[in-house]
Amino acid sequence: MTKSRNPLRRIYDWTLSLAERKTSSWWLGLISFSEASFFPIPPDVLLIPLCLGAIRRALKFALICSIASVLGGLAGYAIGFYGWETLEGFFYDFVPGFTPEKFEEISGWYEEWGWYIVFLAGFTPIPYKVFTVASGVMDMALIPFLLASAVSRSARFFLVAILISKFGEPMKERIDRHFNKCALAFGVLLVGGFLLLKVVLH
């Protein structure tokens, strides 16, 4: 069997292989942390096989993911707030998902949506790291950023862990096939509900 020449695929395969290590929980936390600012592979890739291999520990794995991802999001925010002018070229050249065009587009989204877009990115397959860094660049209020990150990331990871622990291997195939689309649809509906409530209350 030949190794894939696609760098992202090789990183994906390496991430998946970490589930077999005794230090897999530590790797899960490290990947969850780094994915929130620069790592290209989402922690779900490691979270799912770990939950399948130790179903009784599924919620613990989700908790590790959630805490590490929120802390990583805070690191991404700090990169955007304090170091973007220095690191901008590196991110555009080497981190998938970062382009000048995307950042310009995201600027408009922030003006229109505010913290809702952070929530949507945290729960759905939209690249979370782009929005953590952008939040720092745009000088988004830190407390709403942390709350949106904590709620959305926890909701995503605990939902995956609960589905895996309840339904096992058959659910893995469904998550692989449909989860991102369902998460995006649910996230859009939820944010739409927040905005509707905001309009009604005003």
What is 120-166 written as a DSSP string? HHHHSSS-HHHHHHHHHHTT--HHHHHHHHHHHHHHHHHHHHHHHHH
Instruction: Read off the pLDDT of each residue in 9-29 and give the average, rounded to a whole number.
Output: 86
Mean pLDDT over the full length of the chain: 81
Domain range annotation of the chain: 7-201
68-104 confidence digits (pLDDT tens): 999 999 999 999 999 998 998 898 888 877 888 888 8
Q: Which two tokens stand for residue 167?
A: 């339904």
Q: Measured in whole angstroms, how far is the alpha carbon of residue 151 from the centre of its chain?
A: 12
Q: What confidence tens digit (pLDDT) does each residue in 57-68 have?
A: 999 999 999 999
pLDDT, mean of residues 107-118 = 78
Instruction: Select the more confidently predicted residue: 29 or 119.
Output: 29
Taking residues 145-164, report their average pLDDT.
90
Q: How confident is the model at residue 41 (pLDDT cuts 50, 70, 90)?
A: confident
Q: From residue 174, give the alpha-carbon distance in Å to each of 48, 61, 84, 113, 170.
A: 12, 20, 38, 31, 7
